């Protein structure tokens, strides 16, 4: 079940959902609008390797905006810091963003119960487009879960994206290979 505006407000009041900064005008009928933060990032290498840490360079979006290019891939971040303690948050692009040819996530639109952070966006575009810090970029939709959660995301030892940051975070896929190697060595 998707939470309505009144249910999102109840969850915010109880502390089950945290959105900071929160502004009432961004609460929709059954979603909350999030905005592009001031930071973007690009990978430093043209060829990435899933088994190693791929470094990124972060930079601020200038006041005059920044032109995203189709041949590039960008990591962005939401202005909003969010927490979800009893609901599964989904991040979707706003239709007005999609109509400009902007995709805000490649595969990671679903959060976990216990996710507490800014959202890193995986941005690609169909044609060059100038974007601005603070512009509406997506909407969070909250789903009710059935049953108790044994270990929320922010309590998992294996969670790779728990460190609070206002900047985009690069892929931590390489940690999966480290974990697998450690398990093999323990055998």
- In the DSSP assignment, the letter for residue 111 is -
Sign of the four-CA dihedral 68, 69, 75, 78? positive
Look up 7 and say whether it is catalytic. Answer: no
CA distances from 124 to 93, 101, 105 (A): 12, 8, 8
Measured CA angle at 44 (ends 41, 46), to 5 deg: 115
Selected catalytic residue, list 64, 122, 144, 186:
122
Residues 41, 57: contact at Cβ < 8 Å?
yes
Positions annotated as catalytic residues are: 122
């Amino acid at each position: 079940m998707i939470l309505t505006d009144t249910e999102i407000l109840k969850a915010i009041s109880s502390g089950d959902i945290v959105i900071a900064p929160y502004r009432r005008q961004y609460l929709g009928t059954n979603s909350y609008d999030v905005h592009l933060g001031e930071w973007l990032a690009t990978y430093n290498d043209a060829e990435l390797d899933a088994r190693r840490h791929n470094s990124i360079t972060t930079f601020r979006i200038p006041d005059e905006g920044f032109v995203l290019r189709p041949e590039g891939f960008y990591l962005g971040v939401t202005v909003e810091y969010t927490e979800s303690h009893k609901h599964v948050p989904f991040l979707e692009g706003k239709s007005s963003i999609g109509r400009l040819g902007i995709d805000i996530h490649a595969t990671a639109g679903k959060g976990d119960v216990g996710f507490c952070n800014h959202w890193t966006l995986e941005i690609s575009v169909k044609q060059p487009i100038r974007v601005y810090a603070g512009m509406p970029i997506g909407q969070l939709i909250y789903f009710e879960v059935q049953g108790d959660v044994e270990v929320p995301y922010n309590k998992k030892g294996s969670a790779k994206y728990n460190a609070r940051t206002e900047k985009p975070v690069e892929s931590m896929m390489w940690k999966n290979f480290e974990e697998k190697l450690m398990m093999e060595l323990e055998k």
